[in-house]
Amino acid sequence: MTLPELTTRFPEIPTDLHDERVLQAFAATFDAYLPTAAKPSACSTDRTPENQAYMTLVAPLDIYRYGLSSKERVIDQLNGLIHEYESSVEAFEGRMFAPSQK
């Protein structure tokens, strides 16, 4: 996924992040998950893999948009996700798609 595709698909990504190098790396790294990632509805009790992908990958950007996180923190989170994925795709997917605890 390219950066323009990412920011078009997820307009909740704040514009002040569009020029950050990490966002371009994020789009390329998570290309397999982002095209189908979907924000869960507020009433949802079960999460689909698409919802989990959104909550893991896109939700931190949305939290920043609401002013509940700093720019530095969200950039660190994106770098952390990329590093975690590059270290072990299997471990990353295991954490991202682990069944939720009730």
Give the Å distances, CA to CA, from 67 to 19, 25, 62: 19, 23, 9
- Residue-wise pLDDT for 2-57, tens only, equals 999 999 999 999 999 999 999 999 999 999 999 999 998 888 777 788 989 999 99
Q: CB neighbours (10 Å) of residue 92?
A: 19
> From the centroid of its chain, how far is CA 66?
15
pTM of the model: 0.87
Please state, in angstroms and rounded to a whole number, the distance separating the CA atoms of residues 55 and 16.
21
DSSP character string of 47-59: --HHHHHIIIIIH
| Dihedral sign for Cα atoms in the order 33, 36, 42, 43 | negative
- Residue-wise pLDDT for 47-90, tens only, equals 788 989 999 999 999 999 999 999 999 999 999 999 999 999 99
| Domain residue spans of the chain | 3-38+46-96
